Amino acid sequence: MLTLILLLIPLIASILVLFLKGESVKWFSFFATIVQLIFTFYVYSVFQNKEAAKSLLAINIEWISSPKINFNIALDGMSLLMVFLSNLLMPLIVLAGFNRTQERSHIFYSLVLLMHFALIGVFVSFDGFLYYIFWELALIPIYFISLNWGGVNRSTVTLKFFIYTLAGSLLMLFGFLFLYWNTNLHSLSWFDLTVNHICSCKQGFIFWMFFIAYAIKIPLIPFHTWQPDTYSTAPTQGTMLLSGIMLKMGLYSLLRWLLPIIPNGVAEYTPIAIALCVIGVVYASVIAIMQTDIKKLFAYSSIAHVGLIAAGIFALNMQGIQGGLVQMLAHGINVVGVFYCADIIINRTGNSNINSLGGIRLLAPRFATYFIIIVLGSVALPLTNSFIGEFMLLFGIFEYNSWAAIMAGLTIILGAVYMLRMYQKVMLGDLNENVTVFEDLKWNEELVLATIAILIFVFGIFPKPILELVEPIATEIFKISFVK
C-alpha cells in the first residue's frame, strides 16, 4: 500500500498542476516533491521493521489473467535506494527552475511529475510487463520536455534520442515475450523468473536482447551517440532528469532484470560486456578532455562514470555490485550538480564554450566554491560521495581482471584532467571579455547547490548507512545469480 502511495503522489500532483498558473505551479510542484521525499523517509522507517514491511510494501493483484500479468509492486533495498535517489533529486530539480521564466510552465511541471511517476514505477515494479510499461512511459514526458523546451536543433536531436531508445526497448520487449513463452511457469513475475531460469542454451540470445536495451539507456559505448547531443540540447531540468535518474534505470535494470534472470547468459558474455564498459570509460574520458562545450563535456564525463558502474556490476562480485549501487546514488547527485552549474553559467553568460569563459570566480566566489566541491565530488576525491563507490567498483573490476582495473583506473587521472581543465578555463584566470557581469547565486540556486554539496560530504564521510542498506540486496542478487 505504501508503495502505491509513493507511486500515486507524483501522478496526482502531475494532474493537479495542470490547473494552476504562474508561480504557484513551481511552488506546488516543489511542495509535492517535498511531500514525496518526507513520505520516503517514512517508508524507509517501515522498511527497517522487516515483519511489518512485507505486508505494507508489497501489492500483487491479478491484472490480466491470460497472458498472466500481475500488478505487482514492492520495495526491497535496491528499489528503496533508487526511489530515495529519485525523490531526493526531484525537489532539487524543481527548485532549480525557480527564478527562471518558462513558457507554459504548468505543462512543463506536469510532464516532470509524470516522469517522476514513471521512474518510481520502474523501480518498484516486480512484474516484467508492468516494468516494461513504466519503462516506456518514462520516455514520453522527456520526449516532450526536450522537444518543446529544448535548445537549438531540438527536433532532430529529440527524434534521434526517441527512436534510439525505443529501438532498444523493443528488443527488451521481445526478450520478455521470449522469456514468457520459454519458461514453464509462463509468468513474468520477477520472483518466478529469478527462481525458474530459462534453459541455459537460450540465455546467451536473451542476454543480448536485454543488454542492448540497457546499453542504449545507460549509455555504453558504442550505443551512446544519442546522449551528448540530447544532454546538451534538452532544457537543464530535462538533462538533470535524464542523467540523474533516467540513466539509472538502465543500471538498475542490469541488476534487477538481467543478472538474476539470465545468470548463465551473463556469465557467458561478461568478458565482452566488461570490455565494452572499460573501453567506454577511457574512450569517453579522452573525448571529454578536448570538449569545448561545457554540457557536452559533462555528458562525456557522465558516459565514463556510468561505464565504470556498469563494468563493476559485470565484474559479478559482491564489491562490484555493492559499489555499483552506492555509486549510482553518488553519480546521481553529482551529475545533477554539474549540469546545474553548467546551466547557471550558460544562463548568466549565454555562452557554453569554455574557451570564451573565464574569471567567473572573481565575480561569483560563492558559486565558485560550490562548483569546485561538485567538481571534486565527480573526480572522486576521498571523503566525497563517489570515492567509496569508485574504490569498490575498481576493486571489483580488479578482482575480475587486474589489467581491466588499471585501464578503468585511468579515469582517476583523466577525470582530473578534464574536470580541472574545465574549471580552470571557466572559473579561474582573469575575466574573459565575454563575461562582464556575473551575478552570484540566487536563493534557490544556493539552496540547490548547498544541498548537493552537503550530500556530497555526508555520503562521503558516512558511507556506512548506504552500504548497509544495499548490502542485503547485493548479497541476494549475488546469491541468486552466481551461487549454484
Partner 1 sequence: MTQTIIQTSNLYLPTILIPLLPLLGFFINALFGKKLGHASGWIATAVLFGAFACSLFLFLNLPTGGSETITISNWFYFKNIFIPFAFLIDPLSITMLLVITGIGSLIHLYSIGYMHHDEGFSRFFSYLNLFIFFMLLLVMGNNYLIMFIGWEGVGLCSYLLIGFWFKNQAFNDAAKKAFIMNRIGDLGFIIGMFMMLFYFNSLNFDVVTIGALKLGMGNMTIIYITLFLFVGVMGKSAQLPLYTWLPDAMAGPTPVSALIHAATMVTAGIYMIARSNVLFSLAPHTLDVILIVGTATSLFAAVIGLKQNDIKKVLAYSTVSQLGLMFAALGMGAYESGMFHVVTHAFFKALLFLGAGSVIHAMGGEQDMRNMGGLGKFIKITFATFLIGTVAISGIPPFAGFFSKDEILATAFEHNKVIWGLLSFSSMLTAFYMFRLVYLTFSSSFRGTDEVKHHIHESPATMTMPLIILAACAIIAGFIGLPTIISHTHLFKNYLASVFAQSKLIMPAGHEMSHSMEWILVGTAVTLALVSIAFAYQKYVMQKHVPAADENVKGISKVVANKFYVDEIYNTVFVKPIMLLSDLFLVVVDKLIVDLLVHAIAFITNQIGRALRLLQTGHVGFYMFAMVISMIILLAVQIFVVI
The answer to whether residue 463 forms part of the interface with partner 1 (CB under 8 A) is yes
Site string for partner 1, 24-53 (x = CB under 8 A): ------------------------------
Distance from C-alpha of 30 to C-alpha of 36, rounded to nearest angstrom? 10
The answer to whether residue 160 forms part of the interface with partner 1 (CB under 8 A) is yes
Q: Candidates 178, 359, 432, 482: give the one binding partner 1 (CB under 8 A).
A: 359
The answer to whether residue 164 forms part of the interface with partner 1 (CB under 8 A) is yes
Question: Grid coordinates representing 281?
Answer: 570509460
Q: Candidates 189, 243, 319, 444: give the one binding partner 1 (CB under 8 A).
A: 319
Question: Grid coordinates representing 212?
Answer: 542492448
Burial of 403 (0-12, 13-18, 19+ CB in 10 A): exposed
Q: Candidates 12, 35, 467, 480: give the one binding partner 1 (CB under 8 A).
A: 467
CB of 395 to partner 1, least distance (A): 5
CB of 288 to partner 1, least distance (A): 8
Query: Cα torsion at 167, 173, 174, 178 (round to 10°)?
Result: 160
CB of 45 to partner 1, least distance (A): 21
Distance from C-alpha of 447 to C-alpha of 424, rounded to nearest angstrom? 24
Nearer to partner 1, 18 or 383 (CB): 383
Q: Candidates 70, 79, 158, 322: give the one binding partner 1 (CB under 8 A).
A: 322
Distance from C-alpha of 32 to C-alpha of 273, rounded to nearest angstrom? 40
The answer to whether residue 163 forms part of the interface with partner 1 (CB under 8 A) is yes
CB of 341 to partner 1, least distance (A): 17
Radius of gyration of the chain (CA): 21
The answer to whether residue 428 forms part of the interface with partner 1 (CB under 8 A) is yes
On whether the CB atoms of residues 438 and 364 are closer than 8 A, the answer is yes
Q: Which of residues 198-257 bind partner 1 (CB under 8 A)?
A: 222, 224-225
Q: Which residues contact 41 (CB under 8 A, 6 or more apart)?
A: none
Q: Which of residues 391-420 bind partner 1 (CB under 8 A)?
A: 391-392, 394-395, 398-399, 402, 405-406, 409-410, 412-413, 416-417, 420
Q: Helix axis angle, 2-16 relative to 105-124, nearest 10°?
A: 160
The answer to whether residue 186 forms part of the interface with partner 1 (CB under 8 A) is no
CB of 435 to partner 1, least distance (A): 13
CB of 9 to partner 1, least distance (A): 33
Q: Which stretch binds partner 1 (CB under 8 A): 46-54, 75-83, 269-277, 425-433?
A: 425-433
Q: Which residues contact 149 (CB under 8 A, 6 or more apart)?
A: 102, 103, 108, 234, 235, 238
Query: Can you give 8-61 as a three-state secondary structure string?
Result: HHHHHHHHHHHHCCCHHHHHHHHHHHHHHHHHHHHHHHHHHCHHHHHHHHCEEE
Burial of 93 (0-12, 13-18, 19+ CB in 10 A): buried
Query: Cα torsion at 332, 335, 336, 341 (round to 10°)?
Result: 160
The answer to whether residue 318 forms part of the interface with partner 1 (CB under 8 A) is yes
Neighbours of 102 (CB within 10 A): 15
Q: Candidates 51, 103, 430, 433: give the one binding partner 1 (CB under 8 A).
A: 430
Residue ranges in contact with partner 1 by CB under 8 A? 160, 163-164, 222, 224-225, 283, 286-291, 318-319, 322-323, 359, 361-362, 376, 381-383, 388, 391-392, 394-395, 398-399, 402, 405-406, 409-410, 412-413, 416-417, 420-421, 424, 428-430, 463-464, 467, 471
